[in-house]
């Protein structure tokens, strides 16, 4: 029987006698499957959850349900729960690291999806709080609803081929996403066409590592496997990207026959296999079962495909298995594939692989800009037509109209040609995007971030970011050109701009630019509207018109770095330098112990690889926290810190978050939890001055501070040791504002000038609040400060936790929280039970020593940054300012400068608000002459 809709597809799979499973590996663990359920289990779970969904507040029969998860299991279960309930799911993409972009994205989705009901997990719910009016619910809260006794009323069975099944978002998590309407019939015909094209049957076994928000998972793997009731395995992308050879081990372990891998990952697997004895510490995999590797998202390099094919043959693969394809969300993922890679491409002597022919249900053609249909081998606009193609963008008639020609063919936005054998080849994209390792980025967003950083030596409004694919490269690269404001011989400024741009690019895209070139103004002409042409800039670069400037810049920077390189002075530095050189594939002679990770273009994946390699090479018995890598980016700095980790701990309050820049250093004092992690995001944006943070005593077994006087004395001494002379710039976050105020008084009493004293959302009188916080409340505050739970969850369980503490003790409260904390977050923060307990004790001690604090004395000036207050202290910003913050006037000689900032007390420095906060902070420093 042929399924009429997705729900029937699941029903048919659930009836299959083989009872195959969907198996999911937990994040961080690829040794054994974490969770699994049969198709029958999935159907029953979906039906049960479907009966709960109508009870969700604000849900309507026509509601779109926006699903946002960070793991495969919950995403799959709740996708089918929404389908079973008869609603339309929209699958949320991962959020961008750009706070402004994230906020804009959520506001856009609220309108686009017509006030959707948002379903997520508790650990992710906090991310939605930045936008007012979102109807957000957690699966944990929904599962507490009382289920109706009658298991009927499920409307999913009534869905027809032309009914809307799911909304998939385009453009990732940035820009103005469109919601692609995928219909039941379209999806079913698509997966049938894929299976026919590739010869897939119920004997196949699927492996996926892409999120369900991408059609490469939903249609290419999940639904296609379900069509055959075939086994499917899901693993986290982060686990494969750290060690690509895990792919081969999983293929062997589960006898995988079908998987997906973009070109950049094919290149990573190839590099790993070309290492001498890649499986030295384990048995070689048996890949005789493997036959299909779908590849898409970016062009496939023929040389890499040929190399990997040869390497896989060593482990038992008997034929060509890489299937380069073309697909979009609008075409239900892959819809055009090559089954002759690399042989067809090698015979034609092509650099990039052909994309083959259409699956049943799709046609393709090439047209000119004037609409003329072009003949074979002519490059033009790729257009598609057929029943597997989408019909419209949800709630966006303008975009829908623009997407189709007058005769209803879909404009893909790609330039391509079709050869004499009917095989498709891409020639480029009409749209302005950069695809780095399979992920799309927008050049204008990186340009904005660079401009917003106000980098000394860079002329505003003359920065251009564009993509370029270097010869023999496995992926596109980022290129940046800019107009310098420094003199050509000012090498320090030249290096400073390059490093600042690299740092911002790494933060935005995860990679360092391929080229950063300062150009003469004559090469950056603006239009009558004041715009620079990205297309013309790229064309000039690829034509070699910037080579003189490029060589001059590269030679100057290389010569400078060569004079700065220092040799290792001990075995630890030598070992780290060796790992550094090996990981980034550069000669050891070209780097020194003062070389920074940021110069090399690290990504988060490479930081984890670097950390793991160092731990192995140095035989460390302690875990290196990620913050240690981020705050000690040079080889010498990291070596010194690791030796401290391995030896007796000597407390120093100073943590340098950013060492570069000539402007007055900024000192940041920790909040009540004692740690300085909260300032990491801020430090990324400030590249023109050193940033030092002050960290509380007691994290590494030292005695806690006895009183505020001891804290102030210790921090004052640390500041003077690093910066003997003023002027000084000091700011504190929350509790740290009180300490910054006290330290500033000591500095001014000794004749030093404090030109900037920043108070981040704290009033002068705090003892009433300090007395409200017992150990349990401090632990709960710490938990949502660390993103182990949401603020709402902490408030909700507070009474229960106090009862638990009173009856069984604080240890049971800690157990309760740790059992429910996200494993990935615990691992990222290098937290365990002992560290969490110590941290809670330290934070409680910091609160306790301020229970009798009364402010006194005066400082010369103050800048007050205020956000939405805690509910426990004020009901509104107005009440917060008028009744609490205004009292600082009694302790300042001049009228304070007031700065309203985005977010709430615990989120004002978070990823969602840091972009606007840093702009306000930097402007206030400049206003104070710093």
Is 0.75 topped by the overall pTM?
no
Contact call for residues 202 and 226 (beta carbons, < 8 A): no
CA angle 445, 446, 450 (to 5 degrees): 120
pLDDT of 247 > 90? The answer is yes
Q: What's the rounded Cα separation, in Å, for the pair 667 and 733?
A: 11
Backbone angles phi, psi at 899, to 5 degrees: -135, 110
Token look-up 């379900």 returns 226
Catalogue all structural domains in the chain, each as residue range(s) with its CATH number.
434-525+532-564 (3.30.300.30), 648-765+854-927 (3.40.50.1820), 772-848 (no CATH)
- Residue 930 pLDDT > 60: yes
Give whole-number Cα distances, 85 to 15, 63, 68, 159, 405, in Å. Answer: 20, 11, 18, 11, 36
Give me the percent of the chain exceeding a pLDDT of 90.
50
| pLDDT in the model for residue 626 | 60
- pLDDT the model gives residue 101: 61
Proportion of the chain above pLDDT 70, given as a percent: 92
Residue 807 burial class via C-beta count within 10 angstroms: exposed 0-12, middle 13-18, buried 19 and up: exposed
Which candidate, 348, 339, 403, 405, places its Cα nearest to that of 377?
348
Going through 283-441 in order, the beta strands assigned E by DSSP cover: 292-295, 322-328, 333-337, 357-358, 363-367, 380-385, 410-418, 424-429, 434-436, 439-441
Read off the pLDDT band of 173 (50, 70, 90).
very low
Count of alpha carbons within 13 Å of 36, Cβ hemisphere only?
A: 11
Structure confidence at residue 361 (pLDDT): 94
pLDDT in tens, 108-153: 999 999 999 999 999 888 888 888 899 999 999 999 998 775 544 4
Write out pLDDT tens, residues 854-891.
999 999 999 999 999 887 788 888 999 999 999 999 99
Q: What is the pLDDT of residue 318?
A: 84
- How far apart, in whole angstroms, are the C-alpha atoms of residue 915 and residue 777? 30
Query: What's the whole-number mean pLDDT along residues 615-643?
Result: 76
Q: What is the pLDDT of residues 371-389, one digit of tens each?
A: 899 999 998 999 999 999 9
Most confident range, picked from 595-604, 646-655, 811-820:
811-820
Could you list the beta-strand ranges (E) of 709-761.
728-733, 754-760
Q: Which of 129, 268, 354, 734 is catalytic?
A: 734
pLDDT at 411: 94
The confidence score (pLDDT) of residue 649 equals: 59
Q: What is the pLDDT of residues 457-469, one digit of tens each?
A: 998 888 999 988 8
CA-to-CA distance for 818 and 836, rounded, in angstroms? 9
In angstroms, the CA 888 to CA 892 distance is 7
For the question of residue 473 being annotated catalytic, the response is no
């Amino acid at each position: 029987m042929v399924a009429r809709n997705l729900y029937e597809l699941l029903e048919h799979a659930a009836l299959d006698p083989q009872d195959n499973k969907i198996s999911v590996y937990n994040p961080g663990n690829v040794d054994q499957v974490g969770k699994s359920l049969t198709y029958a289990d999935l159907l029953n779970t979906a039906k049960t959850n479907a009966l709960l969904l109508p009870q969700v507040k604000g849900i309507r029969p026509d509601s779109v349900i926006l699903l946002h998860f960070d793991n495969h299991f919950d995403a799959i279960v709740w996708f089918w729960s929404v389908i079973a309930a008869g609603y339309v799911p929209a699958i949320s993409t991962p959020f961008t690291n750009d706070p402004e972009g994230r906020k804009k994205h959520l506001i856009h989705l609220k309108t686009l999806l017509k006030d959707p009901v948002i379903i997520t997990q508790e650990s992710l719910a906090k991310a939605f709080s930045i936008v007012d009016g979102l109807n957000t619910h957690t699966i944990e809260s929904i599962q507490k609803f009382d289920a109706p006794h009658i298991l009927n009323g499920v409307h999913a069975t009534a869905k027809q081929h032309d009914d809307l099944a799911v909304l998939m978002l385009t453009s990732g998590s940035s820009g103005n996403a469109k919601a692609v309407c995928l219909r039941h019939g379209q999806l079913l015909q698509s997966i049938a066409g894929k299976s026919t094209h590739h010869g897939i049957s119920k004997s196949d076994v699927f492996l996926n590592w892409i999120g369900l928000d991408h059609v490469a998972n939903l249609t290419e793997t999940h639904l296609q496997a379900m069509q055959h009731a075939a086994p499917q395995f899901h693993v986290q992308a982060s686990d494969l990207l750290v060690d690509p050879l895990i792919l081969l081990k999983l293929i062997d372990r589960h006898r995988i026959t079908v998987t997906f891998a973009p070109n950049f990952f094919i290149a990573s697997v190839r590099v790993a296999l070309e290492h001498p004895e890649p499986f030295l510490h384990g048995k070689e995999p048996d890949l005789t079962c493997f036959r299909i590797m779908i590849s898409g998202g970016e062009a496939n390099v023929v040389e890499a495909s040929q190399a990997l094919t040869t390497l896989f043959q060593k482990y038992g693969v008997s034929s060509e298995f890489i299937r380069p394809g073309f697909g979009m969300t609008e075409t239900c993922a892959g819809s055009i594939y090559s089954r002759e890679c690399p042989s067809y491409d090698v015979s034609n002597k092509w650099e990039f692989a052909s994309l083959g022919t259409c699956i049943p249900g799709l046609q393709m053609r090439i047209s000119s800009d004037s609409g003329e249909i072009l003949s074979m081998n002519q490059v033009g606009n790729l257009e598609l037509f057929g029943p597997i193609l989408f019909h419209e963008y949800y709630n966006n008639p303008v975009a829908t109209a623009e997407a189709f020609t007058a005769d209803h063919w879909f404009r893909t936005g790609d330039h391509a040609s079709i050869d004499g054998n009917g095989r498709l080849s891409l020639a480029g994209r009409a749209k302005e995007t950069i695809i780095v390792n399979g992920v799309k980025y927008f050049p204008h967003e990186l340009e904005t971030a660079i401009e917003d950083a106000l980098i000394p030596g860079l002329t505003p409004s003359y920065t251009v970011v564009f993509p370029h694919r270097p010869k023999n490269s496995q992926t596109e690269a980022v290129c940046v050109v800019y107009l310098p404001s420094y003199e050509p011989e000012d090498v320090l400024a030249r290096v400073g701009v390059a490093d600042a741009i690299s740092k911002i690019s790494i933060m935005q895209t995860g990679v360092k630019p391929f080229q950063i070139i300062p150009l003469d103004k004559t090469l950056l002409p603006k239009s009558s509207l004041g715009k620079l042409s990205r297309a013309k800039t790229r064309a000039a670069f690829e034509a070699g018109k910037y080579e003189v400037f490029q060589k001059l810049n590269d030679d100057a920077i290389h010569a400078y770095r060569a004079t700065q390189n220092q040799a290792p002075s001990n075995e630890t530095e030598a070992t780290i330098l060796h790992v550094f050189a090996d990981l980034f594939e550069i000669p050891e002679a070209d780097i020194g112990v003062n070389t920074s990770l940021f110069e090399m273009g690290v990504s988060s994946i490479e930081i984890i690889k670097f950390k793991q390699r160092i731990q192995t090479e140095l035989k460390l018995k302690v875990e290196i926290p990620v913050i240690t890598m981020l705050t000690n980016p040079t080889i010498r700095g990291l070596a010194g810190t690791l030796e401290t980790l391995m030896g007796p701990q000597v407390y120093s309050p100073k943590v340098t978050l950013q060492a570069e820049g000539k402007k007055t250093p900024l000192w940041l004092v920790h909040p009540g939890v004692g740690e300085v992690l909260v300032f990491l995001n801020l430090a990324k944006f400030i590249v023109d001055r050193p940033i030092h943070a002050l960290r509380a005593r007691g994290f590494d077994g030292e005695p806690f501070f006895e009183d505020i006087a001891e804290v102030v004395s210790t921090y004052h001494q640390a500041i003077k040791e690093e910066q003997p002379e003023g002027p000084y710039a000091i700011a504190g976050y929350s509790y740290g504002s009180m300490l910054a105020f006290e330290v500033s008084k000591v500095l001014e009493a000794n004749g030093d000038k404090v030109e900037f004293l920043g108070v981040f959302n704290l009033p002068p009188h705090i003892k009433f609040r300090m007395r409200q916080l017992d150990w349990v409340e401090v632990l709960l505050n710490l938990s949502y400060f660390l993103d182990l739970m949401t603020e709402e969850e902490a408030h909700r369980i507070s009474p229960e936790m106090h009862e638990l503490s009173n009856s069984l003790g604080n240890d049971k409260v800690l157990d309760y929280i740790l059992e429910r904390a996200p494993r990935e977050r615990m691992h990222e923060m290098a937290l365990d039970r002992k560290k969490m307990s110590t941290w809670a004790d330290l934070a409680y001690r910091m609160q306790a020593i301020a229970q009798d604090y009364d402010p006194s004395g005066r400082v010369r000036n103050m800048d007050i940054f205020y956000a939405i207050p805690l509910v426990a202290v004020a009901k509104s910003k107005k009440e917060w300012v008028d009744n609490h913050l205004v009292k600082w006037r009694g302790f300042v000689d001049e009228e304070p400068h007031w700065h309203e900032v985005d977010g709430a007390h615990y989120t004002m420095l978070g990823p969602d608000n840091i972009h606007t906060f840093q702009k306000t902070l930097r402007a206030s420093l400049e206003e104070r002459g710093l």
